[in-house]
Amino acid sequence: MRKLVVILAVVALVFGLVGASSAYAQGKKGGAKAPKAKEAKPAKAAKAAKPGKFSGTISSVSDSSLSVTTGSGATKKDETFVLNAQTKKEGNLQNGGKATVQYKIDGGNKVATSVKASPPKAAKAAKAPKAAKPKAAKEKKK
C-alpha cells in the first residue's frame, strides 16, 4: 500500500510539473492573447523558371515527349521532358542515343528548350578468334 501511495505521488508530481511548464510557456508567448497574424508576404506566382540540364541515354521518344535515363541500378534516374514547337532539336532523337536536354519548369512540367542528340553507338563487331598458328614440327635429333 505504501508503494502505491509513493507511485501516485510521483505521478501527480510529474503531471504537475508538465502542466506548470506548459502554462509557463503559454504565458511567455502572451498568455491568452490571440496570436498576431503574420503579415502575408506577396506570394510569388511562380518561382522564376530556373533552367536545368540533364544528360543521359534516350529511353523513349515521341512527338510530344522525351524520356532520358542516366545511371544504372540504384543510381538509375529517369526524366521525362515535354517537347513542343519551341524546342530546338539538334541531331536525330533515337532510342539508345545520347542526349543533353536544356529545360525549364512550366506548370510543374519539365519543358525541353533544347535537345542535343547523338545517334546510338554501333555495336562493336565481335572479334574473330585469332587463327591458330600452325606449330612447327619439331625435328627429333637422331
What does the pLDDT look like over 24-63, one tens digit per residue?
556 555 555 555 555 555 444 445 557 899 999 999 999 9
- CATH number, domain of 91, equals 2.40.50.320
Asked whether residue 108 is domain-assigned, the answer is yes
Helix (H) or strand (E) holding 3: helix 2-28
What is the CB neighbour count within 10 angstroms for residue 112?
A: 24
Task: Note whether residue 44 is domain-resident.
Answer: no
Q: Tell me what pLDDT residue 129 has.
A: 61
Whether 140 is in a domain gets the answer no
- Give the E-state strand segments of 12-134 in sequence order: 52-61, 65-70, 77-82, 88-90, 98-106, 109-118
How many angstroms separate the CA atoms of 42 and 90, rounded?
41
> Is residue 90 situated within a structural domain?
yes
pLDDT at residue number 43: 47
Which residues form the domain of 60? Answer: 52-118
Q: Is residue 101 part of a domain?
A: yes
The answer as to whether 131 is a domain residue is: no
Ranges of residues in the chain with a pLDDT under 70 are: 13-49, 123-142
| The total number of structural domains that make up the chain | 1
d(CA 69, CA 57): 5
**Does the residue 31 lie in any domain?**
no
- How much is the pLDDT for 85? 93
Structural domain contains residue 17: no
